[in-house]
Structure 1
Amino acid sequence: METKMKANNKKEISSGLVMTAGSGLEAQPKVGRGLRIRGSDEGWCQAKAGSAGAACSDYGAAGEKPMLISLEKARTLIEAGWQAADLHVHTFYSYDVVPTREVDPLVLYEKARARGMSFVSFTDHDTMDAYDRIGWTREGLVPGVEVKILDPDKVGHTVHINVYMLNRSQFEEIERIAREAQDIELLVEYLRAENLPFTFNHPFWHEPGEKLNARAVVELAEIFPVLEYNLGRIKKLNRLVLELAAEKNRGVAAGTDSHTGDIGRIFTVARGGNFREFFESVKNGESCLVTEDLNYDRIKNEIFQRLEMLIDSHKWVMGKEELKMETGNALADAVIEMLSGGRAEILGVKRAVLKGVARMVSRTGLPARIYLRKQNMLASRIQQELNFAA
């Protein structure tokens, strides 16, 4: 689908976030093969048929969904009775999160509610231990998990899926299918049979050492009701997700994928008296998104913050059997591995020296530049393979 963009200005919100309001989009006939998108200005909206976009007509172009809106306009919708949720958040129970107070599920829950989130869901990697700590029935709390599955036959790279409203026994069955069957279609069939809401997380992503199968991603979009707009992805990749969702007539949810406690920085706004109704609105494209994209300053600060959380182990609130963090820089990752695994003492290297090296590498911004370069290269490859027009 080829689209024309209308530029709109960024607006500084009082909270310090920079958000954008949807401006307008003119749909054009599809040209040639594949999915096509022209431009990547803020204010891009997913063009889909139907009248659902009229629900956001005061906040963007009617008939287009989901709308990308400002934080200020999202607050107006919330005051009018709409619900808000950041549907992708990690606590210190995830293997790649440092166990500090900022990522305690108890703290995150209160922070999310204070930021206006109607629903709070913790989607840790293949574990639901956060709910044993916080309880399963708090107001607005939606049990969730991020499931990892590698289907070597149909996909060829690892896919992450968020699942919501599940119980412990359903979680165990999901994990069994993911580990033993390694069949993504079988997993989706189970989720549908159990009537569990689920999303395709950061679709154009793969584990380190893997190669993304872009064509498989396009095919997978057929079986997922909702795709994710992820704060940890650059604008080009998020725009490709929006275009894919438009082509496949799928909903889009915005998630921070936060590993440092920044819950609710981006989020989804939609109508619904409960979470299931809210998710149905998102699935049908009857939603608005408050979005941001990964940039140099954000990834540099994120890497530095995660390193500081790792280094300041006296601030940890519990021990950690497994802690795996990656920055995209070989030197930084080696230092992190030694610090987190206790190998510094084994190798006779003073932890103080490693801490200094880690901070120095992080402050140079080199890991951030390498990470962004990889994402830009990935986006370019996807555009070439799928005939996306930059």
Structure 2
Amino acid sequence: MFQTSEIKDKIISSERAAELMEDGWCKADMHVHTCCSHDVPPAWQSHPARLFEKAKSMGLDYVTFTDHDTIKAYDMLGWNREDLTPGVEISIKDIENVGHTVHMNAFAFDREQYQEIELLAKKEKNIYSVIDYLKSNDLPYIYNHPFWFKFGEKPNILAVPELVKHFPVVEYNAQDLRQKNFFSMVLAQRYNKGIAINTDSHTGNIGKVYTLAQGDTFHEYFSNISKGRSYLVMEEPAWKHFAAELGGLIELLFSIDKGIWEETGFSTGIGAFDRVMSALARDMPDRSNKLNKATASLARQVASSRLPVFLHMLSKKSQVTRIERMVNA
């Protein structure tokens, strides 16, 4: 049976984190999206160069960007840039072994290795083939938001514990429901896996949460996390991170040009939200400045409230109940 006290002890305050960093502990946010991802607004705030500068100004020791199935950010920044570790979020729809789409982050690869990873993920659609390749090449990888399931797919919740067994590190996603993250931590503890907390930011909020571990290189840092020698730093509750991301999307929406929006075909992946955002973007150039500001203000107020979080929690209530039964079985 899991020990809730041990799980809670993994999360520490920024004050305690500062003490550890004085002793040489390092911090990183290992799940961040740039404007190279299909679901990130094409704005300067999310440009790889801007995010790299922001990450360094916030004191992140290791910086990585994990865009959806693309490495464009590294083509833009340079593959050998100091303090920058190549990363990617891989999407694998493995119906035979899993039954639904799984997201995982991989790190510290070169261009040729990424091409091999991409081939396995897109052609074979076999998550275990990808994992075998990463292990054989000593490449770090994380199981992202284990209890997130792509809209429109029927999730196979029973497949999650089996998958956890094959990952060195499991993610605590700052935007996911607190209950889901708790169950992810339970499985990580049950199978002796590391746990890392990440923002999964799509709006430039890099480093709002971070994982602390020792390591003179990224590989050493990640190895310590996989061995459980790490702490999670998160000052605000998960619902506030979720609200901040929605607010950030609103800010970006009202800052980008209509033509850019239509050209890129930006999508958050949330159907209803996308329709509202697209409608706002389409109408903005035709509105008076006063009305535009009023609409933006209202959108920000709704996004920063608990209403979107409450509705999201309500929609996932039955799913959380099924997950809890499976974890406790």
TM-score by length of 2: 0.89
Q: State the secondary structure of the residue aligned to 1:120.
A: coil
Write the distance in 2 (CA, Å) between the matches of 1:316 and 1:368. 31
Which residue is 1:55 aligned to? none
Q: What CA deviation, in whole Å up to 9, does each residue of 1:318-353 have, x standing for no partner?
A: 98533111457x2x332224566xxx58xxx98649
Question: For residue 220 of structure 2, what is the aligned residue in structure 1?
Answer: 277
For residues 303-325 of structure 1, give each alpha carbon's deviation from its aligned partner in whole angstroms, at most 9, with x where no partner exists.
Answer: 23202312322499998533111
Task: Indicate whether 1:387 and 2:328 are aligned.
Answer: yes
Instruction: Tell me what 2:87 maps to.
Output: 144
SS at match of 1:163: strand
* Offset of residue 367 of structure 1: 3.7
CA shift, 1:211, in A, is 2.4
Can you list the C-alpha shifts for 1:64-108, whole angstroms capped at 9, x where unaligned? xxx221111111111111111111111111111112121111111
1:160 correspondence with 2:103: yes
Contact persistence 2:267–2:274 (CA under 8 A): no
What does residue 13 of structure 1 align with? Answer: none
How far 1:261 sits from its partner (Å)?
0.8
Give CA deviations for 1:9-46 in whole Å, capped at 9, x if unaligned: xxxxxxxxxxxxxxxx4xxxxxxxxxxxxxxxxx714x
2:277 is aligned with 1:333:
no
| 1:180 shift after superposition | 1.1
Corresponding residue number in structure 1 for 2:149: 206
Higher fraction of helix? 2
Distance 1:368 1:168 in 2: 39
**Structure 1 residues 130 and 339: CA distance shift in structure 2, 3 A:** farther
Give the root-mean-square deviation of aligned CA atoms.
2.7
Corresponding residue number in structure 1 for 2:3:
3
What secondary structure does 2:8 align onto?
A: coil
Amino acid at match of 2:238: L
State the alpha-carbon separation in 2 of the partners of residues 310 and 157 from structure 1. 31
Q: Are 2:58 and 1:94 equivalent residues in the alignment?
A: no
**Are 2:246 and 1:294 aligned?**
no
Counterpart residue number, 1:371: 312
SS in 1 for 2:142: strand
Q: Which residue identity lines up with residue 120 of structure 1 in the other structure?
A: V
Match of 1:196 in 2: 139
1:139 Cα offset (Å)? 2.1
TM-score using structure 1 length: 0.75
Equivalent pair of 2:17/2:212 in contact (CA under 8 Å): yes
Q: Are 1:305 and 2:248 counterparts?
A: yes
- Once residues 266 and 280 of structure 2 are traced to their aligned partners in structure 1, the CA distance between those partners, rounded to angstroms, is 10
Task: Evaluate the alpha carbon distance shift between residue 375 and residue 318 of structure 1 in structure 2; reply closer, same or farther with a 3 A threshold.
Answer: closer
Alignment of 1:239-258 (within 5 A): 239-258=182-201
SS in structure 2 opposite 1:204? coil
What is the CA-CA distance between 1:235 and the residue it aligns to?
1.4
Answer whether contact 1:237 1:379 (CA < 8 A) is retained.
yes
Paired residue secondary structure (1:191): helix
Residues 362/153 of structure 1: CA separation in 2 closer, same or farther (3 Å cut): farther
Of 84, 88, 92, which aligns to 2:27?
A: 84
SS in 2 for 1:384: helix
Counterpart of 1:44 in structure 2: which amino acid?
K
Rounded to whole Å, the distance in 1 between the matches of 2:214 and 2:250 is: 39
SS in 2 for 1:161: strand
User: What does residue 179 of structure 1 align with?
Assistant: 122
1:171 Cα deviation from its structure 2 partner: 1.3
Contact 1:327/1:371 (<8 A) preserved: no
Q: State whether residues 41 and 261 of structure 2, in contact with CA within 8 Å, keep that contact through their aligned partners in structure 1.
A: no
The farther-off stretch of 265-274 and 315-324 is 315-324
Partners in 2 of 1:240 and 1:225 — Cα distance? Answer: 17
8 Å Cα contact 2:43-2:255 kept in structure 1: no
Instruction: Check the 8 A contact 2:175/2:241 in 1, yes or no.
Output: no
Residue pair 1:300, 1:362 contacting (<8 A) in 2 also = no
* Structure (1 or 2) with the larger CA radius of gyration: 1
> SS where residue 158 of structure 2 aligns?
helix
- Is contact 2:12-2:232 (8 Å) kept? yes
Question: Could you tell which deviates more after superposition, 84-93 or 303-312?
Answer: 303-312
Change (3 A) 1:119 1:4: closer
Distance 1:166 1:312 in 2: 34
Q: Secondary structure at the match of 1:166?
A: coil
Q: Number of aligned pairs? A: 322
Residues 264, 4 of structure 1: alpha-carbon distance in 2 compared, 3 angstrom cutoff: closer
- C-alpha separation between the residues in 2 aligned to 1:195 and 1:239? 28
After TM superposition, list the pairs within 5 Å mapping 1:9-158 onto structure 2: 25=6, 44-45=8-9, 67-158=10-101
Give, in whole Å, the separation in 2 of the partners of 1:323 and 1:4: 40
Q: What is the CA–CA distance in structure 1 between the aligned matches of 2:141 and 2:197, rounded to whole Å?
A: 13
CA distance, structure 1, for counterparts of residue 80 and residue 260 of structure 2: 24
